[in-house]
Amino acid sequence: MKFDLCPIFDSFEHFSKLPIGLTMLNEYPDTKLFIENLKPELPSIIDDIIQSQSFLRSYGRKSEATYRSYRNEIERFLLWSWTIAKKTINSLSRQDLERYFDFLNKPPKSWVSSSVHSRFVRISGELRKNEKWRPFALKISKSDRKQQLQTSITPDPSKIAHKLSGEAMKICFSAISSFYDYLTYEGYTFGNPIPAIRKQSPYLLKGATQTAIKRLSKLQWDYVLHCCEIAADKDVKYERMLFLVALLKTLYLRVSELSVRKNWNPIWEHFWIDNDGNQWLKVLGKGNKIRDISVPNALLHYIKRYQNYRISISPRFTSKDPIVSKNRGVGGMSSRQLRNIVQEAFDIAYEKMLSEGHREESKALQSATTHWLRHTGASEDISSRPLKHMADDLGHSSMGTTDQVYIKSDMKERAATGKSRKV
């Protein structure tokens, strides 16, 4: 089946600069034409656009990630409503919405791409629809992605069934419910039926099983750290890689907390010492919440080592400099750039493990992501530190989250203690 729909809302960077109203469409001729073609059957489609745009402007201004999450869900919802239900959103019934969540759970293959693509591409100065874009993208493991690059074989989404996970469905319900709350407040709809639909949904299972947290084993972490140290000893350009992996793992950091953002630039001044001589790092975490993370003595060696390297290549180095800096150029680094550095560390460790006979452990390392370092550090420390201290350093709003993620989910230990039970 041919996919002839069009994306509606651009990236956060572009969207935030656009005016409210139909003039937004002037920069997107394909989207404008798509909407114009639907207007005869859906005269109030323009109202849908304006309400959706206003919602995203209001709810998505907190952060780029928040905007992106809402944008994805609202855009899918609009496209389904207009082209499949053939209704504007203010005329959808509860039965329509139930059918929408059925659709979401297993979207048609024509709506699914093999990977994530930009919505628009600039052609001759105009932002045109990217023909590769689809509302859904196949979730392919990191190791499978690598294999694809090696074999140059890209999966055909038309031959693979795509089904949203329970967690993904929760996000869908939450986003559409927030949207309906907003529309109701604005008088565009007469209530929010989503909570009632969610309560009866067969796609949201309660309780269920625990998912093992993704982290490095002790052997894998030892190899990653050791390989980084060897690389840095041989070539100073790897000092940054060594510092980064040690910092992310030991302080349970999200990669975004070390990256440059519009409202935060991590600098060396954010390392500070209190009146008792305790070391801390100030970071901006999820939800724009600032927190201080305790810095253990064992990490000070890696901090000092990287500082000395920075001073050696930049005599003007000051406390106002970015914590992780570009080797070439000026300024801090983006999350993507930081992930690439960590990936290089994983790749080096993988080759070393494989060459020394650790085939299974090295294979598992191929699937590792930067976020695994955060989980690795927290999982190691959870048994030796108070839960409240762990929650504060991790940036969790409650100890319940920490308990849920790092204690209840620790199925390895649970299985080990369960094996010796008697019949």
Distance, in Å, from the CA atom of 346 to the CA atom of 369, rounded to the nearest integer, reads 9
Do residues 9 and 49 lie in contact, with contact meaning Cβ atoms separated by under 8 Å?
no
Domain annotation covers residue 390: yes
Distance CA 26, CA 18 (A): 10
In the structure, what pLDDT confidence band is assigned to residue 388 with cuts at 50, 70 and 90? very high
Burial class (CB in 10 A: 0-12, 13-18, 19+), 138: middle
3-state DSSP assignment of residue 408: coil
Position 417 pLDDT exceeds 80 = no
- DSSP label at residue 90: G
- pLDDT per residue as tens digits for the range 78-133: 999 999 999 999 999 999 999 999 999 889 999 999 888 999 999 988 899 999 99
At 412, the pLDDT band (50, 70, 90 cuts) reads: low
Same structural domain for residues 264 and 364? yes
Q: What is the pLDDT of residue 276?
A: 93
| CATH number of the domain within which 311 lies | 1.10.443.10
Give mean pLDDT, residues 323-349: 90
Is the separation of the CB atoms in 380 and 298 below 8 Å? no
pLDDT of residue 143: 58
Residue 208 pLDDT: 46
- Are 185 and 233 part of one and the same domain? no
Q: For tokens 């995203």, what's the residue?
A: 56
Both 246 and 112 in a single domain? no
Check pLDDT > 80 for residue 136.
Answer: yes
Tokens representing residue 331 in the block: 């300024």
In a domain, 154, yes or no: no
Do 280 and 322 reside in the same domain of the chain? yes
Which residues, 6+ apart, have CB-to-CB distance to 299 below 8 Å? 246, 247, 250, 251
6 falls within a domain: no
Choose the weakest-confidence range: 7-21, 69-83, 368-382: 7-21
Report the interhelical angle of 371-381 vs 387-394 (nearest 10°): 160
CA distances to 109, 114, 321, 325 from 2, in Å = 10, 15, 51, 46
Helix 371-381 vs helix 399-406: angle between axes, to the nearest 10 degrees?
100
What pLDDT band is residue 402 in, cutting at 50, 70 and 90? confident
Which DSSP string corresponds to 17-40? Answer: TSPSSGGGGGG-HHHHHHHHHHTT
What is the token pair recorded at 407?
Answer: 């204690």
My answer on whether 280 and 342 are in the same domain is yes
| Residue at 297: amino acid letter | N
DSSP string computed for 320-373: TSBSSB-SSSSSB--HHHHHHHHHHHHHHHHHHHHHTT-HHHHHHHTT--THHH
Q: Are residues 185 and 240 in the same domain?
A: no
Q: For residues 245 and 166, state if they share a domain.
A: no
Please give the pLDDT value at position 168. Answer: 85
Q: Is residue 188 domain-shared with residue 233, that is, in the same domain?
A: no
Same domain, yes or no: 185 and 244: no
**Which residue, chain included where needed, has tokens 């109701």?**
184
pLDDT at 362 over 80: yes
Residue 57 lies in a domain: yes
Query: pLDDT digit string (tens) for 313-333?
Result: 888 899 999 999 887 777 889
pLDDT value at residue 152: 57
- 3-state secondary structure at position 271: strand
What residue has token string 């409210």? 20
Count how many domains the chain has: 2
d(CA 229, CA 246): 10
Find the largest Cα–Cα distance for the chain.
Answer: 74
Asked whether residue 423 is domain-assigned, the answer is no
In a shared domain, residues 193 and 301: no
Domain ranges, residue 405: 218-418
Question: Would 7 be classed as within a structural domain?
Answer: no
- Indicate if 398 and 321 belong to the same structural domain: yes
Q: What is the pLDDT of residue 159?
A: 47
Q: How many CB atoms lie within 10 A of CB 72?
A: 17
**Residue found by looking up tokens 């947290």 in the block:** 213
The reply to whether 341 falls in a domain is yes
Same domain, 177 and 224: no
- Domain assignment present for residue 16? The answer is yes
